[in-house]
Structure 1
Amino acid sequence: MMRRTHRKSRNGCLECKKRHIKCDETRPNCMNCTTVDRKCQYSTPWWAAERSPSDLSVSPQPPSTGPASTSAPPSTSFPWLQPSSPAEDSHSRVDMVHMQLLHHYTVSQDLHPLMDTCMKDIIMSLALREPYIMHSVLALSAHHLSVVRPEQQSFYHNLAIQLQTQALSIFNSIDVGLYGDSVEKRIPVFIFSSVLGIHALCDMLSYRDSDADSAISRFVAYVTLHRGMHTVMHGYWEELRKTELKVIFDELVPQWFQLTSEGRECDDIRERLSSSMSLDAEEREHALCAVDLVQWVFDAKPKPESRGYVLCSWVAMLGRPFVRMLETRRPEALAVLTYFFLAMYHCRGVWLMGGAGQHFLTLLAEHFHGGEWYAWVETPYQMLQDALEKDALDSSSRFPIATSKKRRYIVPVPMARDFVVTRPQEADAPRIAEIHLAAMDANPLLHAQFPAPESLKSLLRFMENYALEQLRNPATGFLVARDPDTDVVAGFAKWDSPSHPADGKLESGDLRYVEGCRPEYLDGYASLAEEAKKRCFGEQACYCLSFVCIDPAYQGQGAGSLLTRKILAMAAADGLPVYIESTGVAVSMYQRLGFTTIDGFEMRIPRPGLAALSEIYREECMVWYPPPAQDGRSE
């Protein structure tokens, strides 16, 4: 019998060669074998074949070793993105979850700033050809679902990590040297860089570091990752403008990026950079360009998502001299970064940004506080405070407060209220419990100790009973600040001292038996806190300020400072120092009241929804000393 004629396929599968038919060389299973349900095998692994990225399968298995991507940051900074690690077998096939992610990506209106109709078509056509883009698209979709579906946050977040890691693994297997001068082959790399950059930014912002050094290191790692693709694109930008990406350069960029800065938000930093003697001409030029890019965010019109796209693209558009300034932590570059985070606060409606701008700007302001460079960041920090105040006044005004009996509402109030400080009544116990959880909600340690919504509900019930028990003891150190107009409790402070003894630290008592609690993080924290206090004071008598908790609707209006000053006055009358363990975000307030940092401690905790110890939680040990006695009396 005569053999069928066919074109030879040098890299075809063994089954097709045996049957003498043309193989389409799709990996890991060619179309012929898939159609007739045969086992598809190749004589060489997929990464050894000299193939174009278009020939790669949707979910190949990468080699366990190989050259690391120049686009990847140090593994210590982004442990969830390991581009040289092998893809997992569980993700070597397409399943219904992938279909769900793909559908979500195509129908979601707020997932990707580039998702207008024409860009959808370009991205999806490339994703169907290039597996590394498809995996990155699915990863971004999973990350978006982890935000918009908080009840499934852990599942989608882990899935996003796995898919993005696989995308990097596939991309790293490609020898870009084979691209030659081909502009067409660089189009998928440009799109991949865009999606990868947004995914990396999202991961960076989801970590709420408690100290500026960690936050800066994480941001620099993100910069390294986002800009890694520039080596592939270098020298080809003008040619890309003539390809199918023309819509980005000729339509979207002019629409979203203004070519001149019209606003005045960045005037202060621009003036300081222009007159700085520590910058050379090249550094000054690129720093001012970075400022112009931020100003465009403030000027961007008409939709918030256009601002979001500028922010997502900011790092990619920075000049190399300014990137070096960021990498070496030059104060001038970090000052520019505070304006970037101020712009991010104004883009908080974009899903991946949320409250990150406020958090990171506050961290940087605290980082510079009290030093010669604080003047460089004081303006954006004050602009943030003004914006927070305005948003509180302009918000839809009725802030719900849940109680065990019914739902009540309060109206946001202006700053500098004349709060009335009194000892709370037993009837205030439910309100104190509510404030405690609301004020501590941003603290990652709380969610490590009580990770599930049900455990937080149990904690609320416990705190109500605990507060009631404490209030029944007249010797307990307890004060509340009340709104003078509504008599609503805005915040509370709790302390112990020789005249106000305590039964022990809250974390050391019955709190560990609350349903859903993870006692290992309670015990670990209590042990570290106790050791730190012993190092600082030993057996010396002092006031220990346990909690200063203010309802979020009243924060920034002076209630916390007023309560703390009342306790400082009592400590001064007794001639005793005041000791407190403070989270990073509150350090600046206590410094303004005269506290100084004398020690600190930290522990590793898991991020919300994850089991791994992936975040460092830190507290500062601070002390306030009473003024020296005059004429035999304490001031």
Structure 2
Amino acid sequence: MVRKAHTKSRRGCMSCKKRHVKCDELKPRCSHCTRLEIECHYADTRSSSNITSYGNSPLSDPVASPSTPGFSTNADGTPSLPIPELKLLHFWLLNTSLTCSAKSHVAIYQSVVVELGFQHPYLLHGIFAVAALHRATITTDSAERKRLIHQSTAHYDTAISAYRRLIETPDPATCVPVFLLSGLLHMHILGFSQVAPPVDAIDEICTWIRVIRGVGSSINPNWERLRTSEVAPVINAVAGRERVDRSQDSEILPLKDLANEVADQESRDVYLKAIDELHAILLSVRLESHSDDRWTIPMTLSWAVVIPSQYLDLLTAHEPVALVILSHYAVLFEYQRRSWWIHNWSKWTQEAVHQYLDESLWKWTEWPRSQVEHGIR
């Protein structure tokens, strides 16, 4: 089975290393930093002692590390209000919260999530990051858009830094806000491409899969606790695939024939497991898409959590079967193409798959391509 060459380098810039995305190493500024319109710093490779983390690099952008939102004091001693953050919170309540879940769950994002954000500032940073990004996608003022992107990126960096620390030392007491933060982070990762199309869609997908999978250490041991918490309706939406009859047929199952051609037993088993889970989720999404309160994104994104971790390694290496499976997964994005942060991802994914997939295997992606090009049928 032919696979196009894939290379990996550890000489990327500090910004890409911090955000765990692939750097194309263009100088003086890589493509990722160009998209973000931030300064691009490379470590001095002549001496390992000079290599520091991005968080310690001498960035000149004053919004790169926002403090936790709060009140400061003016020169005359009167309280100073954090107006930029208050504007974002206002926008979140009136607009962005309506795009996070099904209509029946909106109150959770307008009330419960915000209240938890006041208790856990990292969640509040996640709210601000997504709200600023959402505003950036709809403003027609280029200067305002640039400012919002900077603001969003700064809050995202603060939120994801806290997120990584939290999942390293899981605490049952914070499983709910950490779960909610993971959702906001993947909204931001996918949504950012709406203001700056991805350089490599597959690399971006791998990034948000890692973010979503990272929350497993906090969620898995506390699953029942989450299902009885104030965010239980959101949790139950994620679990939709558990209720589906897997004996039904779907366009996903023929992929098993392709997977069974893989010589390596371990890789073959990984592919078969990923296909089984994708089959179940597609059936669930189709069932849910006919309901009055349809919202299939939680089920769509749950695939990233239930697939074997080795699949992500195979996808990162652009292994052919992994790419074909991803092509079929992209059909699920098409069901929510009107969402501001999902829009275009089905198309970007298909284009990226065909960039790396050998032409001899294109026949395996005819169905997903037709669904994306002509709409769900």
Deviations 1:2-45 (A, max 9, x none): xxxxxxxxxxxxxxxxxxxxxxxxxxxxxxxxxxxxxxxxxxxx
Return the match for 1:87 from 62, 65, 72: 65
Alignment match, 1:629: none
* 8 A contact 1:287–1:333 mirrored in 2: no
Q: Structure 1 residues 71 and 188 mapped into 2: Cα distance closer, same or farther (>3 Å)?
A: farther
Q: Structure 1 residues 282 and 216 mapped into 2: Cα distance closer, same or farther (>3 Å)?
A: closer
Alignment match, 1:328: 317
Q: Structure 1 residues 191 and 380 mapped into 2: Cα distance closer, same or farther (>3 Å)?
A: same
Alignment match, 1:154: 146
Which SS does the other structure have where 2:151 is aligned? helix
Alignment match, 2:202: 216
Q: Work out the percentage of aligned pairs sharing the same amino acid.
A: 14
Task: Supply the distance in 2 between the matched residues of 1:377 and 1:144 (Cα, whole angstroms).
Answer: 32
Would you tell me which structure has more strand in proportion to its own residues? 1
Return the match for 1:241 from 224, 227, 236: 227
* 8 A contact 1:197–1:226 mirrored in 2: yes
Alignment match, 2:332: 343
Alignment match, 1:126: 116
Q: Which residue identity lines up with residue 165 of structure 1 in the other structure?
A: D
Specify the structure having the higher radius of gyration (Cα): 1
* 8 A contact 2:252–2:328 mirrored in 1: yes
> Structure 1 length as normaliser, TM-score?
0.43
Alignment match, 1:314: 303
Alignment match, 1:102: 89
TM-superposed deviation, 1:107: 2.2
Q: Structure 1 residues 295 and 136 mapped into 2: Cα distance closer, same or farther (>3 Å)?
A: same
* 8 A contact 1:83–1:172 mirrored in 2: no
Q: Structure 1 residues 88 and 228 mapped into 2: Cα distance closer, same or farther (>3 Å)?
A: same
Task: Supply the distance in 1 between the matched residues of 2:295 and 2:335 (Cα, whole angstroms).
Answer: 12
Q: Structure 1 residues 216 and 171 mapped into 2: Cα distance closer, same or farther (>3 Å)?
A: closer
Alignment match, 1:383: 371
Task: Supply the distance in 2 between the matched residues of 1:83 and 1:163 (Cα, whole angstroms).
Answer: 15
Task: Supply the distance in 2 between the matched residues of 1:121 and 1:253 (Cα, whole angstroms).
Answer: 20
* 8 A contact 2:133–2:152 mirrored in 1: yes
Matches within 5 A, 1:16-165: 73-74=20-21, 76=23, 84=55, 87-88=65-66, 95-108=82-95, 110-113=98-101, 115-151=105-141, 152-165=144-157
TM-superposed deviation, 1:95: 1.8
Matches within 5 A, 1:436-515: none
Task: Supply the distance in 2 between the matched residues of 1:257 and 1:113 (Cα, whole angstroms).
Answer: 19
Deviations 1:461-488 (A, max 9, x none): xxxxxxxxxxxxxxxxxxxxxxxxxxxx
Q: Which residue identity lines up with residue 121 of structure 2 in the other structure?
A: P
TM-superposed deviation, 1:91: 7.0
Matches within 5 A, 1:254-403: 259-260=244-245, 264-273=250-259, 279-301=267-289, 302=291, 306-368=295-357, 370-371=359-360, 373-387=361-375
Q: Which residue identity lines up with residue 243 of structure 1 in the other structure?
A: S
Task: Supply the distance in 2 between the matched residues of 1:292 and 1:162 (Cα, whole angstroms).
Answer: 37
Where do 5+ consecutive residues of structure 2 fail to align? 1-14, 25-31, 39-52, 57-63, 72-80
Q: Structure 1 residues 304 and 348 mapped into 2: Cα distance closer, same or farther (>3 Å)?
A: farther
* 8 A contact 1:297–1:311 mirrored in 2: yes
Q: Structure 1 residues 92 and 76 mapped into 2: Cα distance closer, same or farther (>3 Å)?
A: farther
Task: Supply the distance in 1 between the matched residues of 2:262 and 2:317 (Cα, whole angstroms).
Answer: 18
* 8 A contact 2:323–2:357 mirrored in 1: no
Task: Supply the distance in 2 between the matched residues of 1:383 and 1:216 (Cα, whole angstroms).
Answer: 19
Alignment match, 1:622: none
Q: Structure 1 residues 319 and 158 mapped into 2: Cα distance closer, same or farther (>3 Å)?
A: same
> Structure 2 length as normaliser, TM-score?
0.69
TM-superposed deviation, 1:289: 1.3
TM-superposed deviation, 1:346: 3.4
Task: Supply the distance in 2 between the matched residues of 1:285 and 1:105 (Cα, whole angstroms).
Answer: 38
Q: Structure 1 residues 258 and 119 mapped into 2: Cα distance closer, same or farther (>3 Å)?
A: farther
Q: Structure 1 residues 153 and 333 mapped into 2: Cα distance closer, same or farther (>3 Å)?
A: same
Q: Structure 1 residues 200 and 270 mapped into 2: Cα distance closer, same or farther (>3 Å)?
A: same
Matches within 5 A, 1:162-201: 162-171=154-163, 177=169, 182-201=171-190
Q: Structure 1 residues 154 and 298 mapped into 2: Cα distance closer, same or farther (>3 Å)?
A: farther
Deviations 1:71-107 (A, max 9, x none): 9524738766998466146977552221121122122
Q: Which residue identity lines up with residue 201 of structure 1 in the other structure?
A: L
Which SS does the other structure have where 1:322 is aligned? helix
TM-superposed deviation, 1:285: 2.0
Higher normalized contact order (CA 8 Å, seq sep 6+, divided by chain length):
2
TM-superposed deviation, 1:141: 0.9
Q: Structure 1 residues 268 and 247 mapped into 2: Cα distance closer, same or farther (>3 Å)?
A: same
Alignment match, 1:228: 214
Q: Structure 1 residues 324 and 369 mapped into 2: Cα distance closer, same or farther (>3 Å)?
A: closer
Task: Supply the distance in 1 between the matched residues of 2:368 and 2:308 (Cα, whole angstroms).
Answer: 23
